[in-house]
Chain A
Amino acid sequence: MFSLDLLLDAVVIGVLLGCFYGAVSLGLSVSFGLLDVPHVAHPAFLVLASYAVYFLNENYAVDPLVAGLLITPIFFLLGLAAYRLYYETFEKRGSDASVRGIAFFFGIAFIIEVLIILQFGVDQRSVTASYIGKAWRLSDIRVPYRLLVAFAVATALTMLLTLYLSRTFMGRAIRAVAQDQEALRLMGANPIKVKQWAFGIATAVLGIAGALLIIVAPVDPTLDRAYIGRTFCVVVMAGLGSLGGTLVAAIILGVAESIVLTLFGASWAPAISFAMLLGILAVRPQGLFGRRS
């Protein structure tokens, strides 16, 4: 059944949902898009962040977003350690590093999953905050506040990260290492240190993204598996390394999913999203905003 009202509603919800997808994919856009690290444990770190936020919210009544900010430095350090371990054990050793790297990160993901189960059990967890469970009324459209929060945070995060990468010395170094690692070495900089720093930033972003994940919906220890496909889809569709593009691609995915869910039947939603990815890659192999290599 079709009506303009429903379509409008689907687009609004889709844009907000897309922003949420964007926020949870931003870190991957840096680690996979810029650094070429096959970081399949990205969603596992994301779920870990959600549980950390849950812990702070449940035990100390900290607002989930504030909790997300509080854990950011810890996740930054975690990112530094994870990259160093990956570099020493895999990347340093040569050409098939990326294939073996996938195995490494899958291993990390499973370890995180099991640790969460051991600590928190298998049940799903959620947080409480004044903006969860209520909606903003705009004539006939009702928009859940939690999605508006995701929208605001995703936009702010993308802008901050874009500014950081384009305006700061370290940010430019990260872009440089993504373009030509050897050239950076010739300039006297240590590309590994730059990459490690960038990986730390990518993981730190997950602190806030994890907060959004548990604000939008409850989490359980195996939720990471549901996000592997979605986050990689967003990053590849955007074009590797494009942060603004990541947000736009995520919004396209969110709107497509929402329209299909509302108007054509829920079963088709994942098929349409991934068909769009294939279609876009067929026309633009470098992704929507990627540069031709």
Chain B
Amino acid sequence: MSKKVSKPGSISRRRLLASAGAAIAASPLGANLLQAHAAPIKIGMSMPQTGGLAGGGKASLLGIEIWRDDVNAKGGLLGGRKVELVVYDDKSSASETPAIYSKLIDIDKVDLLFAPYATVPTAPIMPMVKQRGLLLIGNFSFQVNSKVGHDMWFNNAPWGPADSWATSYLDIGQKAGGKSMALLSADQEFAQNLAKTAREVATKRNLPIVFDQAYPPNTVEFSSIIRALKATKPDIVYVASYPPDSTGVLRAVNEIGIGDSVKVFGGGMVGLQFGAVMENMGSLLNGVVNYNTWLPEKSMYFEGTKEFFDKYTKRAVEAKIDPLGYYLAPFGYASGQLTEQAISAVGSLDQKALAKHLRENTHKTIVGPIAFSADGERKETAVLQAQFRGIVDKNIEQFRSAGKQVILFPDNLKSGELVAPFEAART
């Protein structure tokens, strides 16, 4: 009867909208819509994507990206905030990184910082990060915090104490009967750091150093150097070399020979961890005992490791990067896991609280449990020393099987015994 009855008024429309809004917000779809509006957690970094470190940088970044996708698929962090990466190419150059990190902090206003891959691009940003009191998750740099002393630095690499690298290698050599050492190193920072600690450990142990040479970058031919090294008849040969040189050194060893006195050869050769380099070198690798960070031996699988490599292998082919990705990629993922666990435990992005959590706890990651000492490096070294065995030419798939790189150190991850002398292990 009334004229007003059926006419939907403005109040009832509002009510309708309000109740519909409440219903949507209460539904799972609504929750997602609201979360989508929550600001993402921005993690900023530079990464070498061109230049000499690009091979490693790209693999490392893919590891971090896989973590980002995993964490976002689980709904993000801090009640639904997605993780977003802000990444710039630092061209493998130390001169690029200070400006990039200033931009990340002041203009992009990222919430957290990851360091670029490797020592050289990381070193120049350390003072700035310390001065600003920012948390920095390191990415495979070596001893960059030793002089800076930043208490909010945490390195994802398994290095541990500075001398543990040389100690483990010389232990293996001396157990095999080694009584003298030859040291061949690239004239570059990382290799020189390794050489320095090797010298110190050898001196402490009264192990005579019969040959000690640093070769310049861009050395083309190593025959002469290997001939001179061979003439000193060393028992242990410690080589700290960079990727192009590692191939040159091993080729020359194969051609010139190294002598029957040598018990172990290798130690700190960079490059022998990358799929393409290993495939190229093939049988030249046999017998070499060298450092590594992750290998497909039984002892190296932790929760999530296999799933990670399944995803990595697929994406690496598309991205034309290291198809194996053992050396860096899982540690990139682990950087993300460290951050994720700290944020979940603390419940905020408060950098001091995050640093405290990282320092005081042991963290479960796909590369095993990680605990930090006061300098932000691992409490205990988890650098592997492994011997190449039964490698054939031109076959990258062989490196996916266990037994091709037998882990000799550390004891808790060991998967076999050393075959010595070096010449015997090469056949």
Contacts and interface: CB of A to CB of B under 8 A. Distances in A.
B257 interface: yes
Interface stretch (A199-207, A235-243, A264-272): A264-272
Interface string B330-370: 00000000000000000000000000000000000000000
Given A13-B221, A124-B247, A217-B220, A261 B394 contact: no
A124 B276 contact: yes
A125 B280 contact: yes
A114 B49 CA distance: 12
A6 B231 contact: yes
Given A121-B321, A265-B213, A126 B256 contact: no
A258 interface: yes
B276 A123 contact: yes
Contacts of B280: 124-126, 218
Contact of A13 (B51, B223, B277): B223
Contacts of B221: 13, 17, 20, 147, 216-217, 258
Interface stretch (B14-22, B52-60, B64-72): B52-60
A180 B136 CA distance: 64
Contacts of B277: 123-124
A98 interface: no
A95 interface: no
A218 B244 contact: yes
Nearest to B281: A126
A261 B220 CA distance: 11
B284 interface: yes
A135 B322 CA distance: 31
A1 interface: yes
Nearest to A14: B224
B269 to A, nearest CB: 14
Given A122-B58, A133-B255, A134-B255, A266 B244 contact: no
B215 interface: yes
Question: On chain A, which size bracket covers the interface?
Answer: 35 or more
Interface string A108-149: 000000100100011111101000111100000010110100
Nearest to B185: A266
A226 B257 contact: no
B187 A267 contact: yes
B393 interface: yes
B227 A9 contact: yes
B243 A124 contact: yes
Interface in B207-231: 213-221, 223-225, 227-228, 231
B254 interface: yes
B225 A123 contact: no
Interface string A260-285: 01110111011000000000000000
B224 A270 contact: no
A9 B227 CA distance: 8
B265 interface: no
A258 B224 contact: yes
A133 to B, nearest CB: 5
Contact of A269 (B50, B219, B247, B322): B219
A29 interface: no
A121 B320 contact: yes
A158 interface: no
Contacts of B219: 261, 266, 269
Contacts, number: 122
Interface residues of B, number: 44
A133 B215 contact: no
B228 A262 contact: yes
Contacts of A132: 251
Contacts of B320: 121
A144 B248 CA distance: 12
A6 B226 CA distance: 11
Interface in B234-287: 243-244, 247-248, 251-252, 254-257, 271, 274, 276-277, 280, 284
Contact of A266 (B225, B232, B393): B225
Contacts of A218: 244, 247-248, 280
B50 to A, nearest CB: 7
A135 B321 contact: no
A217 B322 contact: no
A257 to B, nearest CB: 8
Given A258-B221, A266-B225, A133 B284 contact: yes
Given A1-B231, A123-B55, A270-B216, A147 B223 contact: yes
A223 B101 CA distance: 29
Nearest to A229: B218
Nearest to A260: B224
A269 B216 contact: yes
A10 interface: yes
B187 A144 contact: no
Contacts of B276: 121, 123-125
B50 A117 contact: yes
Contact of A9 (B224, B232, B393): B224
Contacts of A133: 251, 254-255, 284
Nearest to B231: A6
A222 interface: yes
6 tightest A-B CB contacts, nearest first? A266-B215, A123-B276, A135-B255, A226-B218, A122-B54, A262-B224
Interface of A: 1, 3, 5-6, 9-10, 13-14, 17, 20, 114, 117, 121-126, 128, 132-135, 142, 144-145, 147, 216-218, 220, 222-223, 226, 258-259, 261-263, 265-267, 269-270
7 contacts: A1-B228, A5-B231, A133-B254, A142-B256, A220-B52, A266-B214, A267-B214
